[in-house]
A and B are shown apart, each in its own frame.
Chain A
Amino acid sequence: MTEFIQLVVSGLAIGSIYGLIALGFVLIYKSTDVFSFAQGDLVMVGAYLGFGLLTWLGIPFLAVIPIVLVLAALLGLAIQRFVFKPMMGSPLLIMVMATIALSLLLRGVVVIIWGTGAVTYPSTLPNVALDIFGVKIATVDLIIMGVTALAILIFGLFFRLTRVGLHMRAIAENSEAAAVVGINANRMFSLALLIGTVTAAVGGLLLANLQLVSTNISELGLLSFPAAVLGGMRSIPGSVVGGLIIGVIGQLATGYINGTAATAITFGVLLVVLLLRPQGIFGSKGVVRA
């Protein structure tokens, strides 16, 4: 039984990161209707930016965090201005391909600057192994789960209570009607991209504490899609829950069956969910039939 609980706990830890990535992804999708394939690569960029700053400036990890977030925000704005905005309104495939092109571009640039080898952060978050009632967890894992929980809280409050949040929800609901009442759609899209990129960068920084930083990180973005779908493509808390579920399924599949089967099983689950309940757990029916 402890084995099962251990797997679930490990799954929740890694799932928090999937959730964080999925959160940014769903936010962008909800606001701009763009399915961004570049989310995983933005996570990678965040991790590498952290690495670059740490090695260049030689300051501790905590000091680097705000700088990376600012840089990520700028990157998000740049993406909105140069990639998304000119193509607003284009058919789905065009937008998707644009994000794929963006992801290729990011990957190529990262390798040209930092090479193909795996690198590691010289300074990281405190990492102490803990044993709670027989379940092993590291402080880094707890920090990650904490950050994700905080993110849900912050975004929940942001969308419910602030005016800007209300405007964003309006745009997500119906961008034309929102524009009619005077909400600046472009500004909202920029904000969505900004938040999406920043959450991705946070994910990257956290991941760099768990493993070596390499271009493989961008593949994690792939797993955020099942997370987003599970949670319902338009629900922010849903995306994080979806991420947690995916993390747990992955760990359980790896633990009880096999590591290779885990990816196939995770996507198999996605397939089944799509066929039986396409709107996911938190989504509302009716947005989905062709």
Chain B
Amino acid sequence: MHSKLGLALGAVAITAVALTGCSTGPSTSADSPGVTADTISIGTISDQTGPTASIQLPWLHGVQSAFDKVNKDGGVNGRKIDLLSEDDKYDVAIGQPAFKKLVSQTPTAAIMGLNTSNVQAAITPLLKQSAIPLLSGQATIKEAVSPINPYFFGLTPTYADQVDVILDYAAKRVDKKNFTVAVIDNGTASGLEVEDLVKERAVDGIKYAGAVVIEAGAASVDAQLQTIIGYHPDVIVFHGTSSAVNLIARAQEKFGTHYPLIGIAPSGGPSAFAGVTPEFGNLYEYVQWATPFPIKVKGTDDMVAAAKAAGFDKETNNPDFVAGYAGGLVMAQAIKDAGDDPTRKSIRDALEKLDDFSTGGLTPNVSFGPKDHVGVQSLVPLKWDYSTSAFEAIGSYEDYTDAITNEYQK
């Protein structure tokens, strides 16, 4: 008797499934995902709580500040920007579902970020099939721009561009045309990429002496500095975290060496200089493409006001914050250029048409083009001033534009 009851229940369940399983419930209109009459959704994917959060979180805050400002000024073509930020925790396994979420689950019109290089590598191939444009925030990897991906727009200069500027500035800093360069990196894949880039450029009088790795979590870099001493470099190219460069400064204090270091863009931040005397702390300078407060340019006042309104006034002296803010301005402009009915494709086209867009001097002017998907074409070295606790720029963006060879986009 019970077996018959069981079978009956089973039959009912299967019928129910067969009847209702075929019901289709299409969602909202598919031609303008992320766009409604009065809002437009923009997504971000970045590391908010993972190991690089201290660099990437200020970026996100910058984007937030920019969008808040735009919304307060009336939005873009009558629409307010709705920011949907996803955390990738530096992990592809989390970044990938986050991307898919921003494409179809909580659809957005465009995405910004992918500042974690592994995540960028995993997701860039998916951009085309999802037909959604992406504006990178703090990293532009080689594979994303070479060959050119129609949906990927790298706001940040690539590592190749950064190394170009670093070596150009290095010649000025050591006041020699022929010099010896060594590399310190953090041993990850991108660090090894920087090593290769420097090695490639060791021609015409520039000698490459070797590379040294400082792993994350290292407590002492005496051994690494000793190896560096053995290389007799004139200058060192640095890739890594502020903790690592801080360790190097302390080691140099101990050993009494004065090797100048020039770092790539994501490797600095005010904390790199803490706890060491200016004599050794100032040996470190790094190149950046965003101008932090209090270096004054046209757009500084607006940026500071926007930061204050969003509650992030303490971060305005951090170039990562400014990079995010500038990115937000670029995205807002692209949405505006896309017209009254923006779609993913029209935003993509608008991004590609950006020519000499000014962020008020906070970054070099941004230009994209059908054959050029790296928006910022220069960087400037920054030096830390201990007395004012702020960065100062060594020269201007125009001084270094010629140094860039655009290797990845050839």
A contacts B: CB pair < 8 Å: yes
A118 touches B187 (CB 8 A): no
B242 touches A118 (CB 8 A): yes
B214 nearest in chain A by CB position: A259
Q: Does A13 contact B (CB under 8 A)?
A: yes
| Minimum distance in angstroms from A47 CB to a CB of chain B | 11
B275 touches A120 (CB 8 A): yes
Contact of A136 among B49, B242, B254, B271 (CB under 8 A): B254
B213 nearest in chain A by CB position: A259
Cβ–Cβ < 8 Å partners of B247 in chain A:
210-212
Cβ–Cβ < 8 Å partners of B223 in chain A:
7, 10-11, 250-252, 254-255, 259
A258 touches B226 (CB 8 A): no
B274 touches A216 (CB 8 A): no
Q: Does B243 contact A (CB under 8 A)?
A: yes
Contact of B274 among A3, A13, A115, A120 (CB under 8 A): A120
A17 touches B256 (CB 8 A): no
B222 touches A211 (CB 8 A): no
B274 touches A207 (CB 8 A): no
Q: How far is the CA of A114 from the CA of B362 in the complex (A)?
A: 30
Cβ–Cβ < 8 Å partners of B219 in chain A:
14, 17, 207, 210-211, 220
A220 touches B256 (CB 8 A): no
Q: How far is the CA of A219 from the CA of B254 in the complex (A)?
A: 24
Q: Does B193 contact A (CB under 8 A)?
A: no
A118 touches B243 (CB 8 A): yes
Cβ–Cβ < 8 Å partners of B250 in chain A:
210-211
Q: Does A53 contact B (CB under 8 A)?
A: no
Cβ–Cβ < 8 Å partners of B243 in chain A:
118, 211-212, 214, 216
Cβ–Cβ < 8 Å partners of A138 in chain B:
253-254
A3 touches B54 (CB 8 A): no
Complex interface residues of chain A between 207 and 259 (CB less than 8 A to chain B): 207, 210-212, 214, 216-217, 219-220, 250-252, 254-255, 258-259
A118 touches B54 (CB 8 A): yes
A220 touches B217 (CB 8 A): yes
Q: Does A55 contact B (CB under 8 A)?
A: no
| Interface core residue of A7, A119, A260, A262 (most chain B CB under 10 Å) | A260
A255 touches B213 (CB 8 A): no
A141 nearest in chain B by CB position: B254
Cβ–Cβ < 8 Å partners of A211 in chain B:
219-220, 243, 246-247, 250
Cβ–Cβ < 8 Å partners of B224 in chain A:
254-255, 259
Q: How far is the CA of A281 from the CA of B77 in the complex (A)?
A: 74
Complex interface residues of chain A between 102 and 126 (CB less than 8 A to chain B): 115-121, 124
Q: Does B22 contact A (CB under 8 A)?
A: no
Q: How large is the interface on B (under 10, 10 to 19, 20 to 34, 35 or more residues)?
A: 20 to 34
Q: How far is the CA of A251 from the CA of B57 in the complex (A)?
A: 34
A129 touches B213 (CB 8 A): no
Q: Does B230 contact A (CB under 8 A)?
A: yes
A124-137 to B contact mask, C-beta < 8 Å, 1/0: 10010101000011
B245 nearest in chain A by CB position: A212
Cβ–Cβ < 8 Å partners of B241 in chain A:
118
| Minimum distance in angstroms from B360 CB to a CB of chain A | 27
Taking A14-B219, A116-B49 as contacts, is the C-beta distance between A212 and B275 under 8 angstroms?
yes
B256 nearest in chain A by CB position: A129
Taking A6-B222, A212-B275 as contacts, is the C-beta distance between A219 and B54 under 8 angstroms?
no
| Minimum distance in angstroms from B337 CB to a CB of chain A | 36
Q: Does A263 contact B (CB under 8 A)?
A: yes
Cβ–Cβ < 8 Å partners of B220 in chain A:
10, 13-14, 210-211, 251
Cβ–Cβ < 8 Å partners of A14 in chain B:
219-220, 222
Q: Does B216 contact A (CB under 8 A)?
A: yes
A116 touches B216 (CB 8 A): no
Taking A10-B222, A220-B219, A259-B224 as contacts, is the C-beta distance between A116 and B53 under 8 angstroms?
yes
Q: How far is the CA of A220 from the CA of B275 in the complex (A)?
A: 21
Q: How far is the CA of A241 from the CA of B266 in the complex (A)?
A: 39
Q: Does B227 contact A (CB under 8 A)?
A: yes
B215 touches A263 (CB 8 A): yes
Q: Does B197 contact A (CB under 8 A)?
A: no
Cβ–Cβ < 8 Å partners of B53 in chain A:
116
Cβ–Cβ < 8 Å partners of A131 in chain B:
256
B254 touches A212 (CB 8 A): no
Q: Does B386 contact A (CB under 8 A)?
A: no
Complex interface residues of chain A between 187 and 217 (CB less than 8 A to chain B): 207, 210-212, 214, 216-217
B117-159 to A contact mask, C-beta < 8 Å, 1/0: 0000000000000000000000000000000000000000000
Q: How far is the CA of A131 from the CA of B222 in the complex (A)?
A: 14
Taking A216-B217, A219-B217, A263-B215 as contacts, is the C-beta distance between A251 and B275 under 8 angstroms?
no
B48 nearest in chain A by CB position: A116
B214 touches A7 (CB 8 A): no
Cβ–Cβ < 8 Å partners of A259 in chain B:
187, 212-215, 218, 223-224
A111 nearest in chain B by CB position: B49
Cβ–Cβ < 8 Å partners of B253 in chain A:
127, 129, 138
B216 touches A260 (CB 8 A): no
B275 touches A124 (CB 8 A): yes
The 5 sampled A-B contact pairs (Cβ below 8 Å) are A6-B222, A120-B274, A211-B250, A212-B242, A259-B224
Shortest 10 CB-CB contacts between residues of A and residues of B: A259-B213, A10-B222, A255-B223, A120-B274, A254-B223, A260-B187, A219-B217, A120-B275, A117-B54, A14-B220
Task: Name B's A-contacting residues (CB within 8 A).
Answer: 49, 53-54, 57, 187, 212-220, 222-224, 226-227, 230, 241-243, 246-247, 250, 253-256, 271, 274-275
Known: A118-B246, A118-B274, A211-B243. 18 other contacts (CB 8 A): A3-B226, A3-B230, A7-B223, A115-B54, A116-B54, A117-B54, A118-B242, A118-B271, A129-B255, A131-B256, A136-B222, A138-B253, A210-B250, A251-B220, A254-B213, A254-B224, A255-B223, A259-B224
